[in-house]
Structure 1
Amino acid sequence: MGHGMAPARRMKRRAALAVGLLPLSARAQGSWPTRPIRLVVPFAPGGTTDVVGRIVAERLGARLGQPVVVENRAGAGATLGAQQVARAEPDGYALVVSSSTSHGVSPALYPNIPYDALRDFTHIAMIARSPSVLLVNPSSPVRTLADFAAAARAAGEIRFAVAGIGTSSHLAGVRLAGALGVRTESIPYRGAGPALTDLIGGVVPAMLDSLPSAGPHVRAGALRALAVSGAERAGGFPDLPTLREGGLDVVSYAWFGISGPAGLPAPITDRLSREIRAVLTDPATRARLEELGGAPPDTTPESYTAFVRDELASFAPLVRAAGLQPQ
């Protein structure tokens, strides 16, 4: 009986030796995750990026069996937080909420950006997108998008407040002016809050802002919304036309996704992709994202990477044409 078991024991020892020869990272992938995952949000708490990141982090952590801990690292057009993850170990324990700012506008805006938005990241999934909304004060004689277009063409320009130079809403305004064939005069603020306050107070005539921050003011009647910049009407504001419906070929979104460092192992990337897809198809999560302006299309790592590549290509000439400079 002893002699009969020897071959089996030898096979087990060989298998154990083979596992021992594997790199530690390869062995760890099978049980990943075994500790909390850090999700860097490259903006201050309270903004749209932070809100979206926390919605997904809570639900993703529940599915992975480990907490996904949000860490806010704001600064330099979202490049500080993105850089931190680009330099992290590709072990699945450091992720970033990539966005139209950190992986779209900032690479074109900052000449010495410390990362390559494609080469230095593994892009996993888009998690949300939010159109901008064109806003005026309720006392304005401009009541419709057609009114706005006529007034802008008569003046030869549009003047609008922006939440920051190079934000997605700012570039939506640049695109809108181009579609109208007029100049732009943007009035920069340090955030959407102060800009909205001045718009409500009648200090500035118009603004483009993301739906999550502007929506409550529109519902309260403090601001008049004229149109949204999405390809379709926004779920939370079905009566608002799109800019395209008004004859202006402008489609613009702020978008958000989950990315990791370059070289993230395929098993971890695939697991994250599957779990994020499950989170986003949950009816309660999808309804919450719709409130913020729109849930994303179903994305894969390949399609999200291609999307980021296309956005980089579209933002670069727009930033140059607008003559934007980092603040």
Structure 2
Amino acid sequence: MRFLQKMAAGLFMTFALAGIASAQADYPNKPIRWIVAYPPGGSTDVTARLMAQWLSARLGQQVIVDNRAGGGNNIGTEAAIRSAPDGYTIFLVNPANAINATLYPKLPFNFLEDMTPVGGIIRVPNVMTVRKDFPAKTVAEFIDYAKKNPGKVNMASSGSGTSVHLSGELFKSMAGIDMKHIPYKGAGPATTDLIAGQVDVIFDNMPSIIGHIRNGTVRPLGVTSAQRSPALPDVQAIAETVPGYEASAWFGVSAPKGTPAYAIERLNREINAALNDPGMKEKLANLGGVPIPGTPEQFWQLQRMETEKWAKTVQFSGAKAE
């Protein structure tokens, strides 16, 4: 009897391993859903759609972007977390996932624990941009003006607690100045008022603001990345005036916890291949993005560090979820 039990156990293990090997060899054998927690058209969505086109061609299966906007990014995030961990649902990670860990004190999930990292895609700087007739022409002049006019500079944002808002709050704290925060429901109306001269400054995502900069309707003072951006090479990095300042947006991919390792490995390999492809790099550069290839572990470490960094800024600013 014991011999038969051992034989049955051995056969079960053999069939199980064969099943895993077959699933690995066949992956993917149906379309993959890519949840994006924003509406179509923004920089987050555009980034996902560029990479989805690449992955569809490389994987031989359609990668379909599923926009789940609302709740400050949390609706889409929770939908991804609750999805089956079978390799057929992925999620576009962005700074909101790091910010919301502190901004929302009672989330029904822990993003770092409930999602499995796949890999990074790009870093994209925000741009400190002022109305066309603002008196300051440089970051140093802006700081001097704000110190002489405490609380009189109006800082627009795409909403309380967004990366656009908190990039400005981080600047306030490190530069030792006071600005009045004016939150909008999205970057579009905020930029419209900046062009009209109703507000003074915004720290907007580069893909959203760069067209207005190139048209000359607003004026850039500095990029929020640690170094100057190839997309705006003549615009200084804020860190050149405020040492240590860095507040880039970043995008990457995660999957529900428990997603098979073979799926994570395949997706990571194809994403890294995209980031080394000249054509894809050119498309991402047009968004102002710098590729951040690497391992799943490296992407997880980036998320952890960003979560810790933005927790301090949320606490300093007193930002509240809208």
TM-score range, shorter chain: over 0.9
Q: Distance in 2 between matches of 1:286 and 1:30?
A: 29
Give the Å deviation of 1:19. 4.8
The 3-state SS of whatever aligns with 1:134 is strand
1:269 matched residue in structure 2: 264
Alignment deviations for residues 47-102 of structure 1 (CA, whole Å, 9 cap, x no partner)? 1100000000110111111010000001111111111111111111000001111x
Q: Take 1:40 and 1:66, find their aligned partners in 2: how far apart are those partners?
A: 16
Aligned residue for 2:193? 198
Residue 70 of structure 2: which of 67, 75, 84 is its match?
75
Match 2:47 to one of 42, 46, 52: 52
Matches within 5 A, 1:13-24: 19-22=14-17
Tell whether 2:259 aligns with 1:284: no
- The alignment partner of 2:172 has SS state of helix
User: What is the CA-CA distance between 1:248 and the residue it aligns to?
Assistant: 4.3
Q: What amino acid maps onto 2:131 in structure 1?
A: N
Q: How does 1:226-305 map to 2 (within 5 A)?
A: 226-305=221-300
Give me the identity figure in percent.
39
Amino acid at match of 1:273: N
Q: In structure 2, how many angstroms separate the alpha carbons of the residues matched to 1:26 and 1:147?
A: 62
The residue number in structure 2 matching 1:120 is: 114
CA apart distance, 1:298:
2.4
Taking a change above 3 Å as real, the CA distance of residues 320 and 23 of structure 1, as seen in their structure-2 partners, is farther
How far residue 253 of structure 1 moved from its aligned partner, in angstroms, is 1.0
What whole-Å deviation, never above 9, does each CA across 1:111-144 have from its counterpart, x for those lacking one?
2212211110111111112111111111222222
Whether the 8 Å CA contact 2:123–2:250 is kept in 1: the answer is: yes
Q: Which residue in the other structure is 2:5 paired with?
A: none
Could you tell me which of 79, 100, 104 is aligned with 2:98?
Answer: 104
Match of 1:139 among 123, 133, 140: 133
* Separation of aligned partners in 1, 2:12 and 2:162: 54
- Cross-structure match for 2:154: 159
Q: How far does the alpha carbon of each residue in 1:134-169 deviate from its partner, in whole angstroms, 9 at most, with x for none?
A: 111112222222221110111234421001111112
Alignment partners' CA distance in 1, 2:93 and 2:282: 22
Q: 1:252 aligns to what SS in structure 2?
A: coil
Q: What are the ranges of 5 or more consecutive residues in structure 1 without an aligned counterpart?
A: 1-14
Greater gyration radius: 1
Corresponding residue pairs, total: 313
- AA in 2 matched with 1:140: F
2:6 corresponds to: none
Q: Which moved more, 1:279-288 or 1:67-76?
A: 279-288
Structure 1 residue corresponding to 2:26, chosen from 31, 55, 67: 31
Cα displacement (A) at 1:24: 5.4
Deviation of 1:264 after TM superposition, in Å, equals: 1.5
* Partners of 2:174 and 2:242 within 8 A in 1: no
Counterpart AA for 1:180: A
Whether the 8 Å contact between 1:153 and 1:180 is mirrored in structure 2 is no
Q: Over aligned residue pairs, what C-alpha RMSD do you find? A: 1.8
What per-residue deviation string (whole Å, max 9, x for no partner) do you get for residues 171-225 of structure 1? Answer: 1100111122122311000001000000000111111101101000000000101
Q: Paired residue for 1:214?
A: 209
Judged with a 3 Å threshold, the aligned counterparts in structure 2 of structure 1 residues 181 and 40 are, in CA distance, closer, same or farther, namely: same
Distance (Å, rounded) in 2 between the aligned partners of 1:296 and 1:192: 24
3-state secondary structure, aligned to 1:183: coil
Q: Which residue of 1 aligns with 2:7?
A: none
Asked if structure 1 preserves the Cα contact closer than 8 Å seen for 2:226 and 2:244, the reply is no
For the residues of structure 2 that align with 1:258 and 1:118, how far apart are their CA atoms? 13
TM-score, normalised via structure 1 length: 0.91
Matched, 1:306 2:314: no
Match of 1:188 among 183, 186, 189: 183
Whichever residue aligns with residue 155 of structure 1, its letter is: N
**Deviation (angstroms), 1:297:** 2.6
TM-score normalised over the length of structure 2: 0.93
Gaps of 5+ in 2: 1-9
In structure 2, the CA distance between the partners of 1:23 and 1:187, relative to structure 1 (3 Å rule), is: farther
Q: Secondary structure at the match of 1:231?
A: coil
Give 1:114's aligned amino acid: P
The 8 Å contact of residues 19 and 27 in structure 1, kept in 2 or not, is answered as: no
